[in-house]
Structure 1
Amino acid sequence: MNTSIDLAALLCSRLCHDMLSPVGALNNGLELLADERDPEMRQRCLELLEQSARTSASKLKFFRLAYGAAGGFGEMVPAEEPREVLQSLIANDERVTLDWAVGEQSLPKPAVKVLLNLASIGLDALVRGGTLSIGAERSRGATEIAIRSAGPRIAFDGKIGLALSGDLDPAELSGKTAPAHMIRQLASELGGGVQYAQSDGALVLGAVLPDPEGLIG
């Protein structure tokens, strides 16, 4: 399984898997609201519906930038866009803190895609909460990205590591490992690379991405 169509199918599977919970909650909330007559319970249903709607919108914004073509932007994307996406993803989890240390006003579109996918991997690793630190800097025609997840317990699937390093057999790709495979391919096509390192209390993910050909700035 190594064609672009296969990869797209796996990314679609991942998208559907991640959207199932908030969309299902919306459906359940609407069914409860239709049958509920108690004013307090109806208000509670509305609050849950609002939360599920925000979660769904946040995930769709993430997928647009992390997987898609990010239509509406040029070759450069305002750095505020990925920051807002990540903040919205963790808004309902009080155990996770976002430490945003990106001084650039804008980043190349491929760098935003890699940053968000690495950040998603880092966020998934914080199974008991912790701090997700994001850094990025443009220098000498390339963007350097650093993601650090630190918490009481770090959970990291070894197959994701293999996909990041380019050592996972394409036949073993799944919806879970497809994003890592995608950004590894993207980095390689640009002449850059992706790295990771794990310790007991932290997971560090990084990438160096030369600017796409023809990009000025």
Structure 2
Amino acid sequence: MSENSSIDLAALLCSRLCHDLLSPVGALSNGLELLATETDPAMRQNCMELLEQSALVSTNKLKFFRLAFGAAGGFGDRVPIEEMRKLIESLVADKGRIELNWSLPQSNLPKPAVKVMLNFAQISVDSLVRGGTLDIGVELRDGATEIVLRASGPRIAFDEVLGLALEGRLDPAELSSRTAPAHMIHLLAQQCGGGLQFARSEDALVLGAVLPEPEGMIG
């Protein structure tokens, strides 16, 4: 990837982060304005609840994007599974009407695998516009981390352009803030010597990744 392409990708990822944070941060601003003028105790309590909820959503989103997009300082080469699980649970809680099922025998994962998992989760949750079930599984096999997410529900919203980005078949000049995360994890998988796959039907979306681990990092 050229320097300009890297800068463009970083800008698009920042745009995606800002887009997702605009709503909860805007709710914080609105709540503070109401609190400054409201004198009724019951209404002030409602304002405080709004502020607490918006602050929690904003914090959870920042933690999610810190690990999904960023360098995730504070972690080593491997990230505890429980940390990733909490981030996905908060993502699902913000959407609602989605049942989570887990198969995570490992206690930790390499940071690239965690980034892929979190971005897969974001795509899967966005696809379940009417709710449904999200099954998440990961295992270490033959020196590689294998990841599978299956989103199933009454309606699956998945633009084929996301599939092109996941498989590295989308022209970088056509990337948007919506497709940039998919392109990013394609590049990450490619750097690891692995790859990403997807399959979509009327009522299910399956996302998969195989990410070989460098020698000395298995465990």
TM over 0.5: yes
Give the TM-score normalised by structure 1. Answer: 0.96
Flag the 1:213–1:17 CA change in 2: closer, same or farther, 3 A: farther
Gaps of 5+ in 2: none
CA distance in 2, matches of 1:10, 1:76: 26
- How far, CA to CA, are the matches of 1:141 and 1:184 in structure 2? 19
* Residue of structure 1 equivalent to 2:74: 72
Gaps of 5+ in 1: none
- Determine the structure 2 residue equivalent to 1:209: 211
SS, match of residue 127 in structure 1:
coil
Matched ranges for 1:14-33 at <5 A: 14-33=16-35
**Counterpart for residue 86 of structure 2:** 84
1:154 aligns with 2:156: yes
Summarize deviations over 1:158-199 as a string: whole Å, max 9, x none.
111110111111110000000000000111111100000000
CA distance in 2, matches of 1:86, 1:43: 29
Q: Supply the distance in 1 between the matched residues of 2:191 and 2:213 (Cα, whole angstroms).
A: 11
1:39-78 aligned at under 5 Å gives the runs 39-78=41-80
RMSD over aligned CA atoms reads 1.3
Which residue identity is paired with 2:128?
A: L
Instruction: For 1:6 and 1:92, locate their aligned partners in 2 and report how far apart those are by CA, in whole Å.
Output: 29
TM-superposed deviation, 1:214: 4.3
1:34-58 CA distances to partner (integer Å, 9 max, x unpaired)? 1111111111111111111110011
Distance (whole Å) between structure 1 residues aligned to residue 60 and residue 150 of structure 2: 22
Aligned to 2:115: 113
SS in 2 for 1:91: helix
Q: Which amino acid aligns with 1:44?
A: N
The alpha carbon displacement at 1:99 in A equals: 1.3
Fraction of identical pairs, as percent: 68
Distance in 1, matches of 2:108 and 2:34, equals 44
Give structure 1 regions of 4+ aligned residues with deviation exceeding 3 angstroms: none
